Amino acid sequence: MAKRFMKMSVLLIGLTLTVTGFSNKKLEDYSSSMFISEIVEGLAHVPTIEEINMNFRQNGPFVGKSYLGFSNDLGLSESSGNYKAVNRLGYAGKYQFGGSALKWVGIKDRRRFLNSPELQEDALKALIALNKHVLRDYIADYDGQIINGIKVTESGLIAAAHLGGAKNVKRFLDSNGENVFADANDVPITKYMKKFAGYDLSSVLPNPNARVTL
């Protein structure tokens, strides 16, 4: 009887550990492949290089090559579509705006920015308009050309500018593809040039004065 009781106790303990382990894993919710940062009103999962390399069309709706498709796919690539994401370097929001980008589009209140999806969408449009203006001559001269094995498109250049800045996009083109900038996650701008090629961004016009209206 005592042996039977001990055997049942061992089985019960094992079952408890299994259930507890399953619950903890469920609570972790994919965080093993992502680092978690504190943000306004909660936690954000922010993608690492592994998430950036994923095929984002497997993780979100297919909305084609329109502006909506571009913004959707860029958001998935930058933050898994999380408007409140903040990475270890302080880049914020769905599109991972740094301090200089926020200032460029006229945003001074980062807390308000993080808590407003509408503000973030407006900020992206303003940033695209600004980058289009800065890169207007390069877009006109290089669109459709093959540089270092990469077909140059307007949307690819704009995405690359979003990742590494318009200045580094210019350096890449001026060097005929030899000068390739990579961000803090060691993601080269050429990855975004290929990944975001061929989207239609004609709905956003070049504008040197583009700012977010608060």
Q: What is the pLDDT of residue 214?
A: 76
Boundaries of every domain in the chain: 34-195
9: buried, middle or exposed (CB in 10 Å: 19+, 13-18, 0-12)?
exposed
Q: What is the pLDDT of residue 112?
A: 96
Task: Report pTM.
Answer: 0.73
Q: How far is CA 166 from CA 2, 26, 41, 68, 109, in A?
A: 76, 41, 33, 22, 24
Q: Alpha carbon 197 to chain centroid distance? A: 16
pLDDT along the chain (214 residues), means of 10: 49 44 34 32 44 51 86 97 96 97 97 97 98 98 97 98 98 98 95 98 98 89
Q: What is the pLDDT of residue 195?
A: 97
Residues 6+ apart with CB under 8 A from 203: 67
Is the Cα torsion angle 83, 92, 30, 13 positive or negative in sign?
A: negative
| CATH fit for domain 34-195, picks 1.10.530, 1.20.1110, 3.10.310, 1.10.3470 | 1.10.530
Crossing angle of the two packed helices 154-164 and 166-174, in degrees rounded to 10: 120
